[in-house]
Amino acid sequence: MPGPDPLLAESLGKIARDIDSMFDALLPNASDNRSVLGQAMRHAAIGGGKRLRPLLLTATAAMYGADRTHALRAAVAIEAVHVYSLVHDDLPCMDDDDLRHGKPTVHKAFGEAMAVLVGDALQAFAFELLADPATSGDPFVRAELVQVLATAAGGGGMVGGQVLDIMGEGQALSLPEITRLQQLKTGALLGAAVEMGAVLGKVPSEGRTHLRGYARDIGLAFQIADDLLDHEGDADKAGKALRKDAEAGKQTFVALLGPERAREQAQMLMDQAIAHLAAHGQEADVLRALAHYVVERDH
């Protein structure tokens, strides 16, 4: 499979560097016994991940001319929520993973209690960041950023999807059920990334319909591609153990559709996502390239 196109490769590299340096600048740096918390939060947050949510957020914000520093702060916040969810997901009582982004998981490196607290602190950090006037001088924007992220992160979004995931283990889920599960578990936060970019760009809610459609389609395409990579991929490139879902008795798109139809479905969703951007010119090129990338990436 091909790598990302040059525009996207540049955007992915830039956002990865920006997010790493902002995490390092913004995460707590206590000099007392709490220093281990800052270290463990940095271990979890810095130097790993594709930073898809930050790129979605900043690319959408840029389409509408929002300030990049503001967008980067919001991007750090949504990535902090994503990272906290991985830290808690990796816990022994959840997926019990030892490796994440090629490094020991937080509970392996710092112990389980610290991993619980790192996740909790990262979630609070996200909302602290969004509510800070440095993220936007407009309190309407700050409050709406918090509302969008909190709604997508909680029981009606990402955590709700994780609950469906746990409750569905060993059950024969239907295609609509697995679609709903994934729309909550990963789709909600990907959708929030685009929505938060639009909030920063002061796009009114009724002007975001096409962006929501785009986000919904790439969210599902992303998950199908993930299942395909889990089925066929390379654990070294992924930096984590693969085929754990099947072993845990979890239903996947590949198990339900077979790899061929799953791949067709992902392609179809990619085309559909790009079609939602038809009214935009080249300012939407990063989002278009991202739609290709989520389906065509090799890790």
Residue ranges that bind its own copies, judged by CB under 8 A? 27-28, 30, 32-34, 36-38, 41, 84-85, 88, 91, 93-94, 111-114, 116-117, 119-121, 123-125, 127-128, 130-133, 139-140, 142-144, 146-147, 149-151, 153-157, 159-160, 162-164, 166-168, 180
φ/ψ (deg, to 5) at 174:
-80, 170
Query: Can you state the angle between helices 52-63 and 6-26, rounded to 10 degrees?
Result: 110
Q: How far is the CB of 263 from its own copies (least distance, A)?
A: 28
Q: Cβ closer to its own copies: 119 or 233?
A: 119
Q: How far is the CB of 93 from its own copies (least distance, A)?
A: 4
Token pair in block for residue 130 = 């969004």
Token pair in block for residue 210 = 């096409």
Q: Cβ closer to its own copies: 123 or 223?
A: 123
Q: How far is the CB of 55 from its own copies (least distance, A)?
A: 23
In the chain, alpha helices (H): 6-26, 35-45, 52-63, 68-89, 106-110, 112-131, 139-153, 158-167, 175-182, 188-200, 209-232, 235-238, 244-247, 253-275, 285-296
Place of tokens 């996740």: 119
* DSSP character string of 130-162: HHSTTT-S-HHHHHHHHHHHHHHHSTTTHHHHH
Q: How far is the CB of 37 from its own copies (least distance, A)?
A: 5
Q: Cβ closer to its own copies: 134 or 275?
A: 134
Q: Cβ closer to its own copies: 45 or 211?
A: 45
Q: Cβ closer to its own copies: 7 or 30?
A: 30
Q: How far is the CB of 199 from its own copies (least distance, A)?
A: 11
